[in-house]
């Protein structure tokens, strides 16, 4: 059986690393509300009790049931005692950033600061409020969203874990560190660094911050991304011993082969599982090396790991963006999508849908278009 070749491949999400939680509070008029609380230590959540129990064993804390806001499916949670966690940046693009406006119906806007992606229109917030649009009240303009995917090497499984923050300051710092890492790797390995899978050792740290503005002092926390095993001198000198020690021998062999183009087929055969083959496919495509012959060879390798699998696991945000794009091509509005969604997914709304329901609705749209 052949594979679907035009679908996005990526590591399945196993859970999330969070920087806060909510607690019940009472307003002056006696109303009970959920108040956000920043955490000084990492919070691990997942649908898998085994994963959360493993996190508690590694970083402390008590495992408990957890109900996310928005009436999503119940999960498991542990508020750890660790303010730093060692991680690995996966191949490909680990950081996604956008300005977004959310409502109970889902994501209403997603913008890169220039173009609103759902409509193709110029930045709506900028058009409405000018350069100081970010000073408007929350809920009227977009928020900064940064989503970083990492692998936790001490945890079971090979899936990705997501760090998500709305911090304005963290957005610039995380993007800057990812760019520094890419620059460092490019200096060390040459242009071939973009054409094969590198696993970069990093450390995630929660750092408390203080900001004084308008006569008010605000306390908050931000996630900080750091390289592990690399000093400033090594970074400036191009030694990068800490990073090099993490690379496998098969990657080193692949870089030095022949004309400088990695042996993607050899890497795929040594990968050991289907998700890794998908990552190699994506890397070859981004590097401009994905010929028709390479497509056939990588497909054969992928089938050897799991001949029966036909469904590709996707991140819910990626699926939702594909839904919005395809719905727009079919002339459907966002309201129409949200109204139709539960009729296709057996009653699950777009707001509460997971990857499986979104994939089902996306296939429905593709069938309609066909």
What are the tens digits of pLDDT across the range 234-278? 655 655 544 444 434 344 444 434 445 667 777 777 666 666 666
Q: Say which range, 104-118, 157-171, 226-240, 306-320, has the weakest mean pLDDT.
A: 306-320
Q: What one-character DSSP code corresponds to residue 101? A: E
Q: What confidence score (pLDDT) does residue 107 get?
A: 84
Structure tokens at 355: 């990857």
Please spell the DSSP secondary structure of 305-365, one letter per residue. Answer: H-TT--PPP--HHHHHHHHHHHHHHTT--HHHHHHHHHHHHTS--TTT--HHHHHHHHHHH
Please check whether residue 296 lies inside any domain of the structure.
no
Partners of residue 147 on adjacent β-strands: 96, 164
- Lowest-pLDDT range of 70-79, 103-112, 184-193, 222-231: 184-193
d(CA 41, CA 207): 9
The residue from 145, 162, 184 where one domain ends is 145
Angle between helices 316-329 and 355-369 (to 10 degrees): 20
Based on the structure, what is the number of domains in the chain?
2
Of the three residues 129, 145, 161, the one that is the final residue of a domain is: 145
Query: Which residues span the domain enclosing 104?
Result: 95-145
pLDDT of residue 312: 37
Q: Are strands 160-165 and 13-26 parallel, antiparallel or unpaired?
A: parallel
Q: Does residue 112 fall inside a structural domain?
A: yes
Select the more confidently predicted residue: 333 or 255: 333
Q: How confident is the model at residue 70 (pLDDT cuts 50, 70, 90)?
A: low
DSSP-H helix ranges across 157-263: 168-189, 232-237, 241-244, 249-255
pTM over 0.85: no
Neighbours of 54 (CB within 10 A): 20
Task: Out of 121, 145, 169, pick the residue that ends a domain.
Answer: 145
List % helix, strand, coil for the chain (3-state, nearest 5): 40, 30, 35
Residue 196 above 60 pLDDT? Answer: no
Q: Mark residue 165 as left, alpha or beta (left: phi above 0; alpha: psi -120 to 50; beta: remaining).
A: beta
Q: Residue 200 falls within a domain, yes or no?
A: no
Q: Is residue 116 part of a domain?
A: yes
Q: Is residue 342 part of a domain?
A: yes
């Amino acid at each position: 059986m052949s594979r679907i070749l035009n679908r996005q491949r990526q590591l399945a999400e196993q859970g999330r690393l969070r920087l806060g939680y909510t607690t019940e509070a009472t307003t002056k008029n006696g109303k009970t509300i959920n108040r956000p609380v920043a955490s000084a230590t990492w919070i691990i959540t997942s649908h898998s009790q085994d994963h959360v129990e493993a996190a508690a064993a590694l970083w402390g804390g008590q495992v408990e049931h957890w109900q996310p806001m928005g009436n999503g499916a119940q999960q498991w949670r542990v508020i750890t005692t660790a303010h730093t966690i060692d991680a690995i940046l996966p191949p490909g693009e680990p950081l996604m950033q956008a300005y977004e406006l959310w409502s109970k119906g889902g994501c209403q806007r997603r913008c890169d600061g220039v173009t609103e992606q759902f409509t193709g229109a110029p930045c709506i917030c900028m058009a409405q409020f000018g350069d100081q649009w970010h000073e408007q009240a929350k809920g009227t303009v977009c928020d900064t969203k940064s989503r970083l995917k990492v692998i936790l090497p001490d945890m079971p499984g090979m899936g990705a874990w997501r760090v998500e923050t709305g911090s304005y300051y963290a957005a610039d710092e995380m993007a800057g560190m990812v760019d520094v890492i890419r620059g460092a790797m490019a200096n060390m390995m040459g242009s071939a660094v973009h054409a094969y899978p590198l696993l970069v050792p990093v450390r995630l740290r929660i750092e408390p911050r203080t900001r004084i503005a308008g006569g008010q002092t605000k306390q908050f926390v931000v996630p900080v991304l750091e390289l592990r095993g690399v000093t400033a001198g090594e970074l400036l000198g191009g030694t990068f011993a800490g990073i090099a020690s993490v690379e496998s021998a098969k990657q080193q062999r692949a870089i030095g082969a022949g004309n400088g183009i990695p042996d993607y087929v050899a890497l795929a055969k040594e990968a050991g599982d289907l998700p890794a083959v998908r990552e190699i496919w994506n890397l070859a495509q981004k590097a401009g090396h994905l010929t028709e012959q390479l497509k056939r060879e990588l497909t054969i390798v992928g089938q050897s790991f799991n001949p029966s699998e036909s469904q590709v696991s996707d991140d819910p945000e990626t699926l939702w963006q594909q839904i919005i794009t395809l719905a727009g091509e079919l002339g459907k509005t966002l309201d129409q999508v949200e109204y139709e969604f539960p009729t296709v997914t057996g009653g699950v709304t777009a707001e509460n849908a997971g990857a499986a329901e979104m994939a089902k609705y996306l296939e429905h749209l593709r069938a309609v278009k066909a």
